[in-house]
Amino acid sequence: MTQRMVVVGGDATGMSAASQAKRRATREGRELDVVVVERGHHVSYSACGIPYWVSGDVADADALVARTVAEHRANGLDVRLRTEATGIDLAAGEVEVRSAETGKVERIGYDDLVLGTGAVPVRPRVPGVQAAGVLGVQTLDDGQLVIDYLHGLERRGRARRAVVVGGGYIGVEMAEALTRHGLAVTVVDMAEEPMGTLDPDMGALVHREMECMGIDVRTRTPVEAFLLDADGAVRAVAAGGAELPADVVVLGLGVKPATALAADTDLPLGRSGGLLTDLRMRVTGQEHVWAGGDCVEVRDLVSEEFVHVPLGTHANKHGRVIGTNLGGGYATFPGVVRTAVSKVCSLEIARTGLTEADARRTGFRYVVVHVESTTTAGYMPNAEPMTVKALAEEGSGRLLGVQIVGRSGAAKRIDACAVALWNRMTVEEMTALDLAYAPPYAPVWDPVLVAARKATDALAAVSR
């Protein structure tokens, strides 16, 4: 029975695991020491909220903190901030940690170890990337750096132009946040269209919306270098042969698993560099090491591949599963269907399952359909346009994926599709689904049902 649990990383996975295990142990009258080491200044925060903090929608960092260190300590957790894990001794069952404040190094013994080390922003390997003002956005401390840098520019009257490198979720959200500070924003992306988690035909709708907001979007554009001023701060981005002036640069190229410590310990890593675990979130081949959140790979239940899907909702679930298992219960995390949702200006963007690119890469034969519809009955005054794209597998008829781009009320409809994917429904079955209908909420044929109908017809056509 676990008597001491050491957790590396104090965000979603780590603190959920710690809290859940402690709660269960306490309920059963069992002693459980829980030590959490976190190298930053905060625990239990919403990294996904950072763009809204930068934009000013959220007043301060405190609002993004779900539970403070003091609250966790009051619950009996030994939380050590600004403390980095520097090594793991699997044989001895010890973690080596170093305090950033005192420089003190010590070893902490564990019965079970939980790795919730998260992810780090991808940095392009080009000259100047280490310049001041080239900023990644992953932790709350990163967010504070962005805000401080912007305030510094504003004080000096130099907050004029920003370049965002990468047009994925974080890039698009940060681009919008920067426009809210009055900066002229350019987004530079290697891909055909921004929001590369969608197919390009759907990404084109996002592109148009960004341009309507006044954002300069440059696609198929590689970054060649970051150019510095005399003080060593970024002053421009060389990209696609042009020189784009930039008082600040935000990196939105996505993140990669923070697994250097795990690699040093010879723990098993997947293709993306994320840790591999079983369904209970125990690291493969290890009895007493657990991992979850942005530092692991998860099973994609549609393609059956292991993939890296860094998202707060998964990280929280992983933490709860680990905490349940370490608290004496039994829980599993079966996998994901790659649901994701985002917003740019008033455009809502969602996906679940496979895109065409995913389906081709993994060798599925599929039909694809598009539906142009409205979020409510077409005759209602608040009817908003929405586009649905759906993929279904030839032969089996199974739904493979859905992408939605539209206005208010469009995106969360992806959830019905995510549950359908989870249950491996065919598009024909889906045509009968009892989705909520009333004029303020949907046309009498919900756009999701129309997509299922059209996909069923397309399957019939190819099988003739």
Whose Cβ is closer to a copy of itself: residue 97's or residue 451's?
A: 451
Whose Cβ is closer to a copy of itself: residue 3's or residue 382's?
A: 382
Minimum distance from residue 122 beta carbon to a copy of itself (Å): 20
Q: Which residues bind a copy of itself (CB under 8 A)?
A: 12, 46, 48-49, 52, 57-58, 63-64, 66, 169, 311-314, 316-317, 332-334, 336-343, 350, 352, 377, 379-381, 409, 411-416, 418-420, 422-423, 425, 431-442, 444-446, 448
Query: Residue 221 and residue 194: Cα distance in Å, rounded?
Result: 11
Minimum distance from residue 323 beta carbon to a copy of itself (Å): 13
Could you give the 3-state DSSP secondary structure of residue 366? strand
Could you give the 3-state DSSP secondary structure of residue 314? helix
Q: How far is CA 309 from CA 48, 119, 170, 361, in A?
A: 13, 11, 14, 17
Burial (0-12, 13-18, 19+ Cβ within 10 Å), 86:
middle
Minimum distance from residue 310 beta carbon to a copy of itself (Å): 12
Minimum distance from residue 415 beta carbon to a copy of itself (Å): 4
Closest CA to 189 of 149, 174, 46: 174
Query: Residue 90 and residue 73: Cα distance in Å, rounded?
Result: 27
Minimum distance from residue 433 beta carbon to a copy of itself (Å): 6
Whose Cβ is closer to a copy of itself: residue 3's or residue 313's?
A: 313
Whose Cβ is closer to a copy of itself: residue 225's or residue 341's?
A: 341
Query: Residue 97 and residue 108: Cα distance in Å, rounded?
Result: 8
Minimum distance from residue 23 beta carbon to a copy of itself (Å): 11
Minimum distance from residue 336 beta carbon to a copy of itself (Å): 5
Closest CA to 408 of 385, 381, 437: 385
Whose Cβ is closer to a copy of itself: residue 265's or residue 376's?
A: 376
Minimum distance from residue 39 beta carbon to a copy of itself (Å): 22
> Maximum Cα–Cα distance for the chain, whole Å?
73
Minimum distance from residue 342 beta carbon to a copy of itself (Å): 6
Helix (H) / strand (E) containing 174:
helix 169-180
Helix (H) / strand (E) containing 406:
strand 399-406
Query: Residue 388 and residue 123: Cα distance in Å, rounded?
Result: 33
Closest CA to 265 of 294, 295, 228, 227: 295
Minimum distance from residue 59 beta carbon to a copy of itself (Å): 8
For residue 340, the cross-strand partners are: 351
Whose Cβ is closer to a copy of itself: residue 37's or residue 336's?
A: 336
Minimum distance from residue 121 beta carbon to a copy of itself (Å): 18
Query: Residue 436 and residue 383: Cα distance in Å, rounded?
Result: 16
For residue 188, the cross-strand partners are: 165, 218
DSSP 106-169: EEEE-SEEEE---EEE----STTTTSBTEE---SHHHHHHHHHHHHHHHHTT---EEEEE--SH
Contact 268, 276 (CB under 8 A): yes
Whose Cβ is closer to a copy of itself: residue 231's or residue 434's?
A: 434
Query: Residue 396 and residue 414: Cα distance in Å, rounded?
Result: 22
Q: Chain centroid to CA 170: how far?
A: 8
Whose Cβ is closer to a copy of itself: residue 265's or residue 426's?
A: 426
Whose Cβ is closer to a copy of itself: residue 262's or residue 416's?
A: 416
Whose Cβ is closer to a copy of itself: residue 343's or residue 389's?
A: 343
Whose Cβ is closer to a copy of itself: residue 126's or residue 377's?
A: 377
Whose Cβ is closer to a copy of itself: residue 184's or residue 377's?
A: 377
Minimum distance from residue 13 beta carbon to a copy of itself (Å): 12
Residue 441 tokens, joined: 């909420």
Residue 214 tokens, joined: 């006044």
